[in-house]
Chains A and B, each alone.
Chain A
Amino acid sequence: MTTSTVDSPARRSSRGGRVLRYVLLVVVACVVLGPIYWLVTSALKPTADIYTYPPTWIPNPLHLRWSNFADAWHAAPFGRFFLNSLIVTAIGTVGEMLCATLCAYAFAFLRFPFKKVLFGVLLGAMMVPGHVTLLPNYLTISDLGWINTYQGLIFPGLGSVFATFLLRQHMMTLPGEVLDAAKVDGAGHLRTMFRVVLPLSRPMLITAGVITLVAKWNDFIWPLIVTNSTNMRTVPIGLLFLKTQEGYNNWGAIMAATVLVIVPVLVVFFFAQRQIVAGLTQGATKG
């Protein structure tokens, strides 16, 4: 702890100020973590501990009720919901990343008249709010007879603007010599892309991929309107289903189901935390 370096005005403050800052840090931590703690402990509490006041802050580790998870699993076809979410997320992410990668490579390395204008057209799509496309896309998918199908769930999400933007910006920063060397070797564009550009873009591919993945797993409104049979619902819709089914009578099971929904995302988040944060805050710092 050196006090000689001044890196912000508050560093010069008193010992009391430091204590206050730690108190505030703890408050922030409690506000942020409180709901998550409440979720996880409630998912493990026996029913009697949930419906009691004052609440049981720390559930008895010897009497955890794991069967909350079994209850949730049986109250709604969660196995099916997970399967649907996995299929839609996996295929949707791979598909969108393919579209994004090819498109980003073209905009970064290939010549074409009015390339900048075309890129502007692509970026413009970011301004179209989801609620404007909702009804027309529903009608399109419905005309194709794709209501309650995986195609219907996946196709409208395959076009990529944000991931394309992230990847193209990254590819533009790659050193020109590497690409020129590949050209001298006589490598075609496909080979340059797979042998040189994609390996060098790995961090950004991970960032864009993970952001896409999380967005697809969490997607709510599109699966809600494009499916209406229970066996085509995805996990987030499953929560709505469970709530309507169980009402407020079985918080243990509802909390257990919620844990199941967020655990995959949290696992991804803790592994790829740096990439996610960097990608999602990109627009702000570069803007």
Chain B
Amino acid sequence: MSAVDARAGARSADTVGAGDRPPPRRRRPRHLREYLLFLAFIVPNFFFVIVFAYWPVIYNAYLSLTSWNMLAPVKEFVGLTNYTDLLTDGDFLGTLRITVIFVLGIVLGSMVLGLAIAVLLNEKLIGRGFVRTMAFAPHILSGAAIGTIWLFIFDPNYGLLRPIFGVVGLASPNWMTSSKWALPGLIIVYLWKNMGFIATVYLAGLQNVPRDLYEAAAIDGSGPWHTFRKITFPMLSPVTFFLVITTTIGTFQAFDIIALMTGGGPGNSTTILSWFIYQQAFKAFDAGHAAAAAMLMFVVLIIITALQARFLERKVHYR
């Protein structure tokens, strides 16, 4: 390989300043063949990615500047009206508020639970491998199935939670039919779905913490909580940041469990941004407002991703 490169380099050096003399014949076709092969190999993938991921962004941005009911032949250009409509609309601001609660609740909750489980599973306990595997499983189950299971668990009369609440003498609330309990209920379901995945990633991180740090701490007489705060948690910070970002992005796009369990209700109590976009587009056929809301979501997610990039950069400098 390197010999070939060297020869190619020598050739190009030869041809420098050779005026318009044609370049050596025998090397060019080989490069050309490799370039063509490269293009042939990436074209299928790039075709689908461009048509179904990049083009939609442009199209969606355009739609967000129009007023269109998805049937009329003409899309009326309205400038930024859709955005100003949304940002002054009480319902939409309510949606944003619910989205923030939903995302914060799920991200913070599943991070804390996931880390706690990871610390526990990092101990040499009998059966921990089994628990780790089982805890991961919900991450790959269909959201529709998870939603259905929990709908029954939340059933106030015959669900699994009634006897559990009964232990402390409480009645299981009407989870999914009460606008007060539906959002916390959904958050619980997502915690259950996420925590095993987060625990698994944290576990890999924990096993990468150098052992001599713990030994040094032990010699210094540091207690478990102190060691965790001063050594374990700081050493895990890159993992924590990665998980916060990916969980946040994933949670913003939560959909299937909501579709099964609440459909955004009761009232608007569980209408998060992703559900709002779906409603506007495919129930209200209001393409403009749906597209504008989607653009807002995109911008928020880009900002969050950019934060991650900056953080990682700082991390590298720090090292």
Contact = CB atoms under 8 A, between A and B. Distances in A.
Interface of A: 6-13, 21-22, 24-25, 28-29, 31-36, 38-39, 42, 50-55, 98-100, 102-103, 105-107, 110-113, 115, 118, 122, 125, 127-140, 155-161, 164, 176, 180, 183, 189, 214, 217-218, 220-221, 224-225, 235-237, 239-240, 243, 248, 251, 254-255, 257-258, 261-262, 265-266, 269, 273, 276-277, 280-281, 283-285, 287
14 contacts: A7-B124, A38-B153, A132-B57, A132-B60, A133-B53, A135-B56, A135-B294, A218-B144, A218-B256, A220-B144, A236-B256, A239-B147, A273-B133, A276-B140
Contact of A112 (B38, B117, B155, B238): B38
Contacts of A35: 149-150, 153, 160, 192
A106 to B, nearest CB: 4
B142 A280 contact: no
A29 B48 contact: no
8 smallest beta-carbon distances between A and B, as pairs: A159-B48, A136-B56, A106-B41, A236-B144, A220-B256, A159-B49, A133-B56, A103-B45
Nearest to A255: B152
B173 interface: no
B274 A280 contact: no
B46 interface: yes
A156 B52 contact: yes
Interface residues of B, number: 112
A8 B144 CA distance: 40
B144 A129 contact: no
Contacts of B217: 9
B139 A280 contact: yes
Contacts of A7: 124, 211, 214
Contacts of B204: 281, 284-285
A163 to B, nearest CB: 10
Given A9-B214, A50-B158, A102-B44, 12 more contacts: A9-B218, A9-B228, A10-B224, A11-B124, A38-B149, A53-B163, A55-B158, A129-B253, A161-B53, A189-B34, A220-B144, A258-B145
A265 B149 contact: no
B160 A189 contact: no
Interface string B229-244: 0000000001100110
B148 interface: yes
Interface of B: 1, 31, 34-35, 37-39, 41-42, 44-57, 59-60, 63, 70, 117, 120-125, 127-128, 130-131, 133-145, 147-153, 155, 157-158, 160, 162-163, 166, 192, 196-197, 200-201, 204-205, 208, 211, 214-215, 217-218, 222-224, 227-228, 238-239, 242-243, 246, 249, 252-253, 255-256, 259-260, 273-274, 277-278, 281-282, 287, 290-291, 294-295, 297-298, 301-302, 305, 312
Contact of B214 (A6, A107, A221): A6
Contacts of B120: 21, 24-25, 28
Contacts, number: 310
A33 B52 contact: no
A54 to B, nearest CB: 6
A130 B120 CA distance: 35
B197 to A, nearest CB: 7
Contacts of A225: 278, 282
Nearest to A125: B53
Contact of B42 (A106, A265, A280): A106
Contact of B127 (A10, A25, A98, A281): A25
A287 B236 CA distance: 12
B277 A134 contact: yes
Contact of A129 (B127, B134, B301): B301
